[in-house]
Structure 1
Amino acid sequence: MGLNPFVSIRRDLHKIPELGFQEFKTQKYLLTYLQTLPGDRMEIETWKTGILVKVKGLNPSKTIGYRTDIDGLQITEETGLEFHSEHEGKMHACGHDLHMSIALGVLTHTILNPVQDDVLFIFQPAEEGPGGAEPMLASDIMQKWMPDMIFALHIAPEYPVGTIALKEGLLFANTSELYIDLKGKGGHAAYPHLSNDMIVAASALVTQLQTIISRNVDPLDSAVITLGIINGGTAQNIIAENVHLEGTIRTFSDENMQKVKQRIEDIIEGIEKGYQCSISLDYGAMYHQVYNNEELAREFMEFIAGHTDLTVHECKEAMTGEDFGFMTRDIPGFMFWLGVNSEYGLHHSKLNPNEAAIEKAIEAAVKYIEYKGNKKS
């Protein structure tokens, strides 16, 4: 017995991961597949490296949106799979290859078995960065085809295949990148008094930044500042003139995000004065929280529990970031976790999702679209 066609598609896509707004091979692959489907019931538009496909309903009164992301990550794959990444230093380490194959499965079924309402399939680039959802929402084609509701999924390595997880309300956090550059005065290691050492300044800055969460955020609320990169210095006997830091901020409220950023700026101002240096700050890409529409999320949970053999788990909110939050900000919608039972987690070089989850996800999304798309408004 041969592979499920959408498992085969997933493996093809797994080989060609591309970074945000560079998904040229991916877009071409997707468009080539779409050309194999009956064209009389769908309209196809491209936006940058993304694709929008509108499947025409039999007697539409609304538009249902389904979104998938299509980009990969800058990670060297270590899975040992036969269909491993062919792009050096890049990998589908967040499951977007599964997301796309599931979306194609749902789209194919919807074209061959149309519902009453229109269904818009959104293949969105640059979810991992620099962020594709917000500019895509503002595009002319999206404005013309704006759905009345929208949903999406994200693989979850920690849940078994056959489980989906979601909750009403807040699901994923507000996130912001963090880039900090310190510039002082370099010099000989033997004459520190003639220099302004940015290793020392950066050490003080890192320590003080870690007090923000413990001393400025309500202990009953949640926020995170993580610094993942620190680079500085050129030799052991040279005082470092420049240090570069990169990190991320995560909060469960807009108010806390603004408070954390204000404290970062206050601390930086103090470090500049105390260590006689200049510091530049850039927040990079910022993602809005994913907030699941209460009514739609509850309806989906009840529908899946009653009409499929999937196990529905009501989960807690997570500090994960997802730019689908911009879509749930502007359109009533929800996102759910799809169990894929992988030993290794998201963004890991050995992530290896169980492909049996693909068929489960297609079935769940198809049945919900049939229910929602044939339901009178």
Structure 2
Amino acid sequence: MRRDFHRHPEIGFTEFRTASKVVERLTCLGYEVIYGQDAMDGKSRRGLPSDEVLESCFNRALKDGTNPEIIEKMRGGYTAVIGVLKGKADGPTVAFRFDMDALPVCESAEVDHIPNVEGFRSEYEGNMHACGHDGHTTIGLGLAEKLADQQFAGTVKFIFQPAEEGVRGAYSIVQKGMLDDVDYLFCQHLGTGVPLGEFHGGSTGFFASTKLSAHFRGVSSHAGASPEEGRNALLGAATALLNIHAIPRFSSGTTRINVGVLEGGTAANIIPDYAKMVIETRSISEEVNEELEKRVRDIVKHSAAMHELEFEIEMIGKAIPIRCDQSLVDLAIEEAKQVDGFTSFKPFRESGSIGSEDASFMIERVQKNGGQATYMVIGTDIPAPHHHPKFDIQEEVLPRSVELLNRIARRML
């Protein structure tokens, strides 16, 4: 199952094939399945691909034999899937979240890359499961199979989330109300520098983050004959770039800032009339991140004004810090100690290198409603860092992860 997902990696909001497989499996196991616009608030999605990209990926899924009736409900990027199963008696609602999306990374074809050697390298050139989400989806479906016997008291809810990369997809699921009945939420990630056999019951150090797309619009003209008649959008964007990277660091909290994309122009002899930037801010403090975002917006505005340009700024992703509940951290470690293969146990994965996670919005909603949540890390040795063309996981981590989550679910229920 994991290798099938690995061969067919789909980036955020285009997980039509992956999500359809999840729908089919959950339905077969007897779960109530909620998907499409029933599972997501369309206006709350962030960083949605263009209509052309969405439709192209939809058609690719159809050509790969995906059930057309299922993905028709997902058309336009509604690729979240929620599975719900009630047990034999009343009890709490326990949710597990699994992300499904891949990355725009070209997978290695070198002879030491196991997916290439074993024949399950990406068939979608330029896309790759370079962060382990193929493993996450597989673990979720394995857990769903374990719990299909309904021998528990309460309700289990499986949240298969699109577009975690770029922190884009979770917020729309939260805004649809899919977390409002959840008493306990468990999120998890494979790898992140934690070795095989090690388990962390919670995580700290996730950054608040904002992803912005800035668009500059000017006037084109001949760069040799009439340069004064043009308004150079690329020059305005370059002005903004240099000043964004000159924003000072903060004494009150660790920060990161980056302009990851700058593009514009069509030819050497044409004043560019359009330019685009993609920017991210990060901070360990939500308040500091908000201040960084404000300064970035001000710089874009005034850089555009300097060059007499029009501009617009679009938020394409956002995350907030995560606070794990100690009681769930302790409980998860207790259960991990009962699973063969786990030999080292730590309460928290303490590293800003984890980056940012939009599961943060799910965790926040559950906690604000009086529930509890944690974000666990399950170790696996990796031959290359996350988001690298040679990224891979050790597949023996999959069954032990399923067993761990099964023990946690039955303990909570």
Q: Which TM-score band applies after superposition, normalised by the shorter structure?
A: 0.7 to 0.9
Percent same amino acid at aligned positions? 26
Counterpart-to-counterpart distance in 2, 1:95 and 1:28 = 19
* Aligned counterpart, 2:46: none
* Aligned counterpart, 2:11: 19
Matches within 5 A, 1:20-35: 20-35=12-27
> What's the TM-score, normalizing by structure 2?
0.77
Please say if residues 157 and 353 of structure 1, whose CA atoms lie closer than 8 Å, have aligned partners that are also in contact.
Answer: no
Between 63-72 and 15-24, report the one with greater CA deviation.
15-24
In structure 2, relative to structure 1, the CA distance for the partners of 1:161 and 1:212 (3 Å cut) is same
In structure 2, relative to structure 1, the CA distance for the partners of 1:114 and 1:285 (3 Å cut) is same
Matches within 5 A, 1:151-230: 151-165=186-200, 167=202, 170-190=204-224, 192-214=227-249, 217-218=250-251, 220-230=252-262
Q: How many residues align?
A: 356
Q: CA deviation at 1:241?
A: 3.2
In structure 2, relative to structure 1, the CA distance for the partners of 1:349 and 1:148 (3 Å cut) is same
Counterpart-to-counterpart distance in 2, 1:280 and 1:139 = 27
Unaligned 5+ segments in structure 2 are 40-77, 110-115, 367-371
Q: Which amino acid aligns with 1:357?
A: V
Please say if residues 26 and 144 of structure 2, whose CA atoms lie closer than 8 Å, have aligned partners that are also in contact.
Answer: no
Please say if residues 215 and 277 of structure 2, whose CA atoms lie closer than 8 Å, have aligned partners that are also in contact.
Answer: yes
Q: Which amino acid aligns with 2:189?
A: H
**Which of the numbers 133, 143, 146 marks the counterpart of 2:181?**
146
Secondary structure class of the residue paired with 2:136: helix
> What's the TM-score, normalizing by structure 1?
0.84
Q: CA deviation at 1:60?
A: 2.9
**Which of the numbers 310, 333, 336 marks the counterpart of 2:373?**
333
**Which of the numbers 349, 370, 378 marks the counterpart of 1:315?**
349
Matched, 1:364 2:400: no
In structure 2, relative to structure 1, the CA distance for the partners of 1:192 and 1:128 (3 Å cut) is same
* Aligned counterpart, 2:45: none
Q: Which amino acid aligns with 2:314?
A: D
Secondary structure class of the residue paired with 1:369: helix
Please say if residues 171 and 291 of structure 1, whose CA atoms lie closer than 8 Å, have aligned partners that are also in contact.
Answer: no
In structure 2, relative to structure 1, the CA distance for the partners of 1:61 and 1:344 (3 Å cut) is same
* Aligned counterpart, 2:287: 255
Q: CA deviation at 1:210?
A: 1.2
Please say if residues 213 and 225 of structure 1, whose CA atoms lie closer than 8 Å, have aligned partners that are also in contact.
Answer: no
* Aligned counterpart, 1:245: 277
Secondary structure class of the residue paired with 2:262: strand
Q: CA deviation at 1:97?
A: 0.9
In structure 2, relative to structure 1, the CA distance for the partners of 1:225 and 1:99 (3 Å cut) is same
Matches within 5 A, 1:47-66: 47=39, 48-66=78-96
Please say if residues 213 and 313 of structure 2, whose CA atoms lie closer than 8 Å, have aligned partners that are also in contact.
Answer: yes
Secondary structure class of the residue paired with 2:358: coil
Q: CA deviation at 1:306?
A: 6.7
Deviation digits for residues 330-358 of structure 1 (CA, Å, limit 9, x no counterpart): 11211122222112222222211111111
In structure 2, relative to structure 1, the CA distance for the partners of 1:92 and 1:333 (3 Å cut) is same
* Aligned counterpart, 1:131: 168
Backbone CA RMSD of aligned residues: 2.6
Counterpart-to-counterpart distance in 1, 2:207 and 2:277 = 22
Secondary structure class of the residue paired with 1:262: helix
Please say if residues 229 and 245 of structure 1, whose CA atoms lie closer than 8 Å, have aligned partners that are also in contact.
Answer: yes
* Aligned counterpart, 1:281: 313
In structure 2, relative to structure 1, the CA distance for the partners of 1:302 and 1:235 (3 Å cut) is same
Q: Which amino acid aligns with 1:311?
A: S
Q: CA deviation at 1:157?
A: 4.7
In structure 2, relative to structure 1, the CA distance for the partners of 1:277 and 1:139 (3 Å cut) is closer
Moved >6 Å (runs of 4+)? none
Unaligned 5+ segments in structure 1 are 1-8
Counterpart-to-counterpart distance in 1, 2:230 and 2:176 = 50
